[in-house]
Amino acid sequence: MTDLAAMSAQLYARGWMEGTAGNLSVRLDADTALVTASGVSKGSLTSDDTVRVRIADAQPVESDGKRPSAETSIHTALYQIFPDCGAVVHAHPPYATAVAALAARRGADAEEFVGLEIIKGLGATDKVLIPVFENHADVPRIGSDVAARLTPDAPPALLIGAHGATTWGPTLETARNRMECLEMLCRLRLLIERNA
């Protein structure tokens, strides 16, 4: 799908999907999603570098040798929790990743952002509480944690300790915009704390 390839190239160019890190997906229908393949540079991703997966179990619909992204279980958990979710972005923007790492060090299960205008980009007005999940080498465990903890009224963003960030929305563009807003919130947080 050309939208996934174009969006991957944009996020790679920003330095948010270094190497082969990061992944995107779009919901195809009630039962399946298209996710970027594992081990492919997001700077040179093509429409052939995707895998159709079942939302119910994060497994490929067909076996053509390509593996779906390691974080596929996070994507499919979000599609299950949020029926209106049409796309997911998982990336490693530096400020969001730094805030996620600091949260992990403190053992925080959420990061609260208050009084910043950009909060509106995540659907809040004056404050937003972004869930923080523990990172695991066994990535499907992160997906299980997301499925067990998030509720349909959660904000459209989450952090994974010392790992990265995930955002979602009805479209790929909305999910990307929310990643941009989350990154700005985290950047402002670090700047404010540094100068406090």
Q: What per-residue confidence (pLDDT) applies to 175? A: 98
| pLDDT tens-digit series, residues 85-104 | 999 999 999 999 999 999 99
Q: Who's near 25: CB < 8 A, 6+ residues apart?
A: 4, 33, 34, 35, 36, 53, 69, 72, 75, 87, 88
Is residue 72's pLDDT more than 70?
A: yes
136 assigned ligand-binding residue: no
Whole-model pTM: value is 0.97
Domain count along the chain? 1
| pLDDT tens-digit series, residues 156-170 | 999 999 999 999 999
In this prediction, residues 143-155 reach a mean pLDDT of 97
163 assigned ligand-binding residue: no
Is residue 1's pLDDT more than 70?
A: no
Is residue 70's pLDDT more than 60?
A: yes
- Domain carrying residue 108: 2-194
For residue 132, the domain's CATH number is 3.40.225.10
Q: What per-residue confidence (pLDDT) applies to 2? A: 61
As a dihedral over the C-alpha atoms of residue 158, residue 100, residue 39, residue 143, rounded to 10 degrees, the angle is: -40
For residue 89, list its beta bridge partners.
24, 167
- Count of beta carbons in the 10 Å neighbourhood of residue 93: 24
Is residue 196's pLDDT more than 80?
A: no
Q: Which two tokens stand for residue 166?
A: 């995930």
- Count of beta carbons in the 10 Å neighbourhood of residue 152: 8
